[in-house]
Amino acid sequence: MARETADTDVELDLDQAAGPAIDLTRLYKLWEGGNWSAFAIDLSQDAVDWREKLSPKQREASRWNYSMFVHGEEAVARTLAPFVTAALTQEQRIFLTTQIVDEARHHVFFDRFMREVMGEGNSYGEVLEAVRPELTPGFRRVFGELDRLTDQLRRQPSNRPLYAQCIALYHIVVEGTLAHPGQRFMLDYMSQFDVLPGFREGIAHIARDESRHMAFGVQTLGELVAESPLIRRAVIRLLNRALPWAVGVLTPPRLDFDYLRVFDINIEDLYAFSLKSLETKLTRAGIQPSEVVALVKLGVSDPPSAQAARTLALMRAGMVSDAVPLDVSEDSMTLLFEALERVAAAAPPSSLPGPIQWEFSDAEPWYLAIERGAATVRRGRVANPALTLRSTALDWARVATERLDPRWAMATRRLSVSGDWRLALRLPALLGA
Ligand SMILES: [Fe+2]
Ligand SMILES: [Fe+2]
């Protein structure tokens, strides 16, 4: 259940789909016992390793990756205060105050590494500015949303669906899906390459702190989701919006995967670890991953490695995250329609009263029909479609990936719809668009 090296030196293991309820007072005690000093860690050998042991490409890759960590820690330290006001119990409030201290200490530690080992500036502000250009579009989207939602929570502290959305974004997406895998892979390569001993020591402390934060998130989100269907729907809506951006956070510049390969990291392994971490935490919070359309599109009943391979293929086609422009080649359209088939297959068959035909002015047509009781997509034309959609392939790809509002597309005649209008109105829900 937990890797415990001493009573208080604990990294909680939340990467299992089941586990006992989490006691916030125990988390508080672990925090008291596990306090550490960001300034006491010796970084002198790290400075030597940085110059002498790391290759230029490894330094470039590290700068890119650690820039997102220093900005990420600064952002989570800055945006957590509204949670304290919104907390529903004194136990939650006390735990959250410990977490603010942790996040500030994490920022201090990454900042020290950047100044003393990497030579990136002389103040917190200077370091953040120096490395800001490294932030990926996915990072900017996810943390922009964190700023927006937590600012809303500051103004509406008693809005429970909003509090639940903030926890889902902060503790489950940012910490559970992005930071946790990042730290795990960093710890692995630093010991494999035997480099940066001080940094490794600090990251191990941070990983233990983060395991308490994620435990708080899983427990509190579970309690909120169990409270009302409204809260549950709000959380699922947030996940569907934020998860496609999250895919792009660790997408290297120009899709140059050498940024990860120089540390022996395979991008599919990283995605698979992230997806497993996300899906186990959601399950423990009482949300089945199959309720989240963004995950259904990846084939949520398959093993994380298969989901990771699909994520990577969709990402390369520009169909999740903004890392690369949308591609509408035949292969990419096949990926898009296969994702659509998985979403339609998860909906009750009664929600699809007849086949849907797509006619593209610049690409092969596609259709969706129920065949032998299962939703199926195929290239070509179907007899007697209940609904026909007409557009360019690119405009449909934009609609399906939520870059183009279907109502706006229709109003501007980029998308035309004929046939059963009741089905047309249900289309976004049916297709997860
Ligand atoms: Fe942190
Ligand atoms: Fe954290």
pLDDT tens string 379-397: 999 999 999 999 999 999 9
Same domain, 26 and 73: yes
Task: Please check whether residue 323 lies inside any domain of the structure.
Answer: no
Same domain, 100 and 205: yes
**Which residues, by Cβ under 5 Å, contact ligand 2, an ion?**
175, 210, 213
Same domain, 160 and 207: yes
Same domain, 189 and 234: yes
| 292 φψ region: left (φ > 0), alpha (ψ -120 to 50), beta (else) | beta
Provide the pLDDT confidence category of residue 6 given band limits of 50, 70 and 90.
Answer: very low
Same domain, 280 and 188: yes
CATH number of the domain enclosing 387:
3.30.1050.10
CA gyration radius, the chain? 23
Task: Please check whether residue 329 lies inside any domain of the structure.
Answer: no
Question: Given 263, 290, 316, which residue is the final one in a domain?
Answer: 316
Averaged pLDDT, 150-156: 98
| pLDDT surpasses 60 at 2 | no
**How many domains in the chain?**
2
Which structure tokens are listed for 338? 């296969």
The CA 102 to ligand 2 mean position distance, Å, reads 7
Closest of 348, 345, 332, 351 to residue 401, by C-alpha: 332
The CA 116 to ligand 1 mean position distance, Å, reads 20
Give alpha helix (H) positions in 347-420.
393-400, 406-411
The CA 76 to ligand 2 mean position distance, Å, reads 7
| pLDDT surpasses 80 at 332 | yes
Start-to-end CA distance of the chain, whole Å, equals 38
Task: Please check whether residue 51 lies inside any domain of the structure.
Answer: yes
The CA 214 to ligand 2 mean position distance, Å, reads 7
Helix 229-247 to helix 137-155 angle, to the nearest 10 degrees? 150
Lowest mean per-residue pLDDT among 60-64, 132-136, 320-324? 320-324
Task: Please check whether residue 24 lies inside any domain of the structure.
Answer: yes
**Domain containing residue 391:** 334-431
Helix (H, G, I), strand (E, B) or coil at 361: coil
Same domain, 89 and 216: yes
Same domain, 307 and 394: no
Task: Please check whether residue 240 lies inside any domain of the structure.
Answer: yes
Reported as half-sphere exposure (CB side, CA atoms, 13 A), residue 2 has a value of 19
Q: Give the Å distances, CA to CA, from 10 to 3, 154, 280, 361.
A: 6, 32, 20, 59
Count of C-beta atoms within a 10 Å radius of residue 52: 8
Q: Which ligand is nearest to the CA of 74?
A: 1
Which pLDDT tens digit goes with each residue over 413-425?
A: 999 999 998 888 8
Residue whose entry in the numeric block shows the structure tokens 């994380």: 304
| CA-angle at 106, arms to 102 and 107, nearest 5° | 120
- Per-residue b or e along 214-253, where b marks 16 or more CB atoms closer than 10 Å to that residue's CB: bbbbbbbbbbbbeeeeebbebbbebbbebbbbbbbbbbbe
The CA 214 to ligand 1 mean position distance, Å, reads 10
Question: Given 316, 346, 376, which residue is the final one in a domain?
Answer: 316
State the pLDDT at residue 1. 42
CATH number of the domain enclosing 267:
1.10.620.20
Note the pTM of the prediction, 2 decimals.
Answer: 0.93
Sequence-ordered list of residues with C-beta below 8 angstroms from that of 343, at least 6 positions apart, any chain: 293, 296, 297, 430, 431, 432
Range among 35-49, 254-268, 310-324, 407-421 with highest mean pLDDT value: 35-49
| CA-angle at 129, arms to 166 and 134, nearest 5° | 75
Is pLDDT larger for residue 9 or for residue 57?
57
Same domain, 296 and 346: no
Which pLDDT tens digit goes with each residue over 59-93?
A: 999 999 999 999 999 999 999 999 999 999 999 99
Same domain, 264 and 302: yes
The CA 234 to ligand 1 mean position distance, Å, reads 25
The CA 177 to ligand 1 mean position distance, Å, reads 13
Q: How far apart are CA 13 and CA 210, in angstroms?
A: 11
Provide the pLDDT confidence category of residue 5 given band limits of 50, 70 and 90.
Answer: very low
The CA 303 to ligand 2 mean position distance, Å, reads 27
Question: Given 316, 345, 362, which residue is the final one in a domain?
Answer: 316
Same domain, 272 and 410: no
Lowest mean per-residue pLDDT among 75-89, 107-121, 297-311? 297-311
DSSP-assigned states of every residue in 304-335: HHHHHHHHHHHHHTTSSSSSS----SHHHHHH
